Amino acid sequence: MASVLVIGAGLAGLACAWRLQRAGFDVEVLEREAAPGGRARSREHEGFLIEPGVGVFASRDNGLHGLARHVDLASDVQSILRFPDAIDTAHGMAAVRPIEDPLFVQTDAVHRSDAWRLGRLRVEALRWRRELDPVSEKAIGALDSLSAVTWLDRVVGRGLRRERVVPYASALAGMNVEALSAAAFLRFAERLRGVRPQYLIGGLALLANRLADRLNVRFGCDVSAIESEDDGARVRYRAGAREGRAMADAVVVAVTGPSMASLCPKLVPSERGFFESLSFARRTVAHLLFDAAPAVPHRMIAFPPRDGFGVSALEVAHHMRGAAPSGAGLLRAVLSEAATGRLSGATDAEVAGVVLDNLERSAVGRLTPREVIVDRIDAAAPIAGPGFFASLARFENRVERTPRMAFAGDYFAGQGAEAAISSGLHAASEIAHALPPRSVSRVV
């Protein structure tokens, strides 16, 4: 039986290990932390679900739904109630009409000329719908070289882009979509068009835990080096005070992109260059806990950028089952990238003060939570900026490859849990096709 080491027990690594195990491979997962999940990790605090990452997914995320069925969690997948979203405008809160289209941001306050421009945006997006595959030469040439900002300004104008389209899309994405290429922005919007937003009772960490329970996962293994040759793979790690080595027929590296190059000293130049070029958005979330749920009649509120205003989105989490005790309230305030940078050295209390001050100055008004919990994620989401898909296509089509090694991460497939899972399943298929029929391995 051929053996495979998977480095990283995030959703990408767990999905890869699950598929390889089902295919008959001897699989072991090494994870640095004490629990699985990676960026999907969450925790319980006095009955509240503290989920720093983006826990919402789409009804047609087939990979995620398939794994949920496999670990008996299908009944815990719930659709989010149809509360309207909103955008905080200079004239007050404007409800976004629930038309299941993240580009057609119609609100009660939109002018007729703006409505025409938004309609044009939808038409332009449909025009490119068939050209948004990452390896499409047409999309790479025409859209991947453009920033989302440049493309949107051409289609809808600067004002509508800043005040409507980008704030709402950024709130849905959990990152500033202005950093994306036009191709990445349109692929993101297309993925959400016409789908129902859903969540998992207990958070996506529950899916990670269920998968880990069915796999051979060694926690507390801090991997320091990964090497592979034509005859197999070798991994060095530290577990507490002990140095360890593991050997297998192949290895899948499912860690955050920036650390890939340092962990794998013998990557071929094309692979090293790709991983060194990756960039990630940071995410700071303030979880506002209330004894009684505040009267916020929206699922999510997006905030356009303003001088001195650091909150980009406010998510109403207590509408989701299991997120808060009965009758209690839970809001998640997501800081903008600029505010995250400004407050990188601030205390949690200082971040909480900025969030509450910002919300009081908005149409939300004054809030008095009983507690504020702040989470920071340094590499929350991959940034597919201009030129990214051209770089990805060169990586996928590379002739020279590090032997017996595959890679998994959401940066190959987009953003969110589904992207991570899809990349893990793809890496498993790559290993299954690359390994010879009979291999011998050993673990030290």
Query: Would residue 49 count as lying in a domain?
Result: no
**Per-residue pLDDT tens digits for 5-42:** 999 999 999 999 999 999 999 999 999 999 999 988 88
Average pLDDT over residues 338-367: 95
In a shared domain, residues 30 and 95: no
Query: Would residue 326 count as lying in a domain?
Result: no
pLDDT band at 167 (very low <50, low <70, confident <90, very high): very high
> What pLDDT was estimated at residue 247?
95
> What pLDDT was estimated at residue 132?
60
Interior/surface letters 354-376, b for 16+ CB within 10 angstroms, e for the rest = bbbebbeebbbeebebeebbbbb
What are the backbone angles phi and psi of residue 295, rounded to the nearest 5°? -85, 80
In a shared domain, residues 101 and 184: yes
In a shared domain, residues 96 and 172: yes
In a shared domain, residues 94 and 187: yes
Is this structure's pTM higher than 0.95? Answer: no
Identify the domain boundary among 161, 192, 223. 192
pLDDT band at 197 (very low <50, low <70, confident <90, very high): confident
Percentage of the chain beyond pLDDT 70 is 91
**Per-residue pLDDT tens digits for 392-405:** 989 999 999 999 99
Residue in 182, 388, 188, 398 with CA at minimum distance from that of residue 277: 388
In a shared domain, residues 161 and 213: no
> What pLDDT was estimated at residue 442?
41
The two three-digit tokens of residue 118, written as one number = 């938004």
Query: Would residue 166 count as lying in a domain?
Result: yes
**Per-residue pLDDT tens digits for 126-156:** 777 766 655 455 555 678 999 999 999 999 8
Name residue, tokens 């990676």.
38
> What pLDDT was estimated at residue 297?
85
Is the pLDDT at 369 greater than 90? The verdict is: yes
Contacts of 330 (CB under 8 A, 6+ apart): 48, 49, 287, 288, 289, 290, 317, 318, 323, 324
Average pLDDT over residues 168-182: 92
Query: Would residue 348 count as lying in a domain?
Result: no
Residue at 56: amino acid letter: V
In a shared domain, residues 153 and 209: no
Identify the domain boundary among 148, 164, 192. 192
Task: Tell me the C-alpha distance between 189 and 122, whole Å.
Answer: 10
Identify the domain boundary among 192, 220, 237. 192
Q: Alpha carbon 378 to chain centroid distance?
A: 12
In a shared domain, residues 173 and 224: no
pLDDT band at 259 (very low <50, low <70, confident <90, very high): confident
Instruction: Look up the domain containing 410 and give its range.
Output: 3-40+205-264+402-434
In a shared domain, residues 223 and 130: no
Query: Would residue 8 count as lying in a domain?
Result: yes
Residues 271-277: contacts with CB within 8 Å, 24+ apart? 271/395, 271/398, 271/401, 271/402, 271/407, 274/391, 274/392, 274/394, 274/395, 277/391
**Per-residue pLDDT tens digits for 262-318:** 899 999 999 999 999 999 999 999 999 999 999 888 889 999 988 889 999 999 999
Query: Would residue 151 count as lying in a domain?
Result: yes
The larger pLDDT score, comparing residue 143 to residue 224, is at: 224
Q: Which helix (H) or strand (E) holds 95?
A: strand 92-96
> What pLDDT was estimated at residue 302?
93
> What pLDDT was estimated at residue 417?
92
**Per-residue pLDDT tens digits for 91-100:** 778 877 655 5
In a shared domain, residues 209 and 255: yes
Phi-psi region of 71 (alpha: psi -120 to 50; beta: other; left: phi over 0): alpha
pLDDT band at 411 (very low <50, low <70, confident <90, very high): confident
Is the pLDDT at 438 greater than 60? The verdict is: no
> What pLDDT was estimated at residue 432?
93
Query: Would residue 292 count as lying in a domain?
Result: no
In a shared domain, residues 160 and 186: yes
pLDDT band at 192 (very low <50, low <70, confident <90, very high): confident
**Per-residue pLDDT tens digits for 322-337:** 999 999 999 999 999 9
Into how many domains does the chain fold? 2
Contacts of 351 (CB under 8 A, 6+ apart): 284, 286, 335, 343, 374
* Strand ranges of the sheet holding 405-407, from the earlier edge strand across to the other edge: 217-219, 26-31, 3-7, 250-253, 405-407
In a shared domain, residues 170 and 232: no
In a shared domain, residues 106 and 150: yes
Report the chain's mean pLDDT, rounded to a whole number. 88
Query: Would residue 394 count as lying in a domain?
Result: no
> What pLDDT was estimated at residue 101?
60
Whether 85 and 300 have beta carbons less than 8 Å apart is answered as yes
Task: Tell me the C-alpha distance between 200 and 56, whole Å.
Answer: 8
Average pLDDT over residues 62-67: 94
Instruction: Please report, for the domain that includes residue 224, its CATH number.
Output: 3.50.50.60
Contacts of 207 (CB under 8 A, 6+ apart): 11, 40, 64, 67, 68, 71, 73, 200
Torsion of CA 76, 82, 87, 88, to 10 degrees: -90
265 burial type by CB count under 10 A (0-12 exposed, 13-18 middle, 19+ buried): exposed
Q: Alpha carbon 429 to chain centroid distance?
A: 22
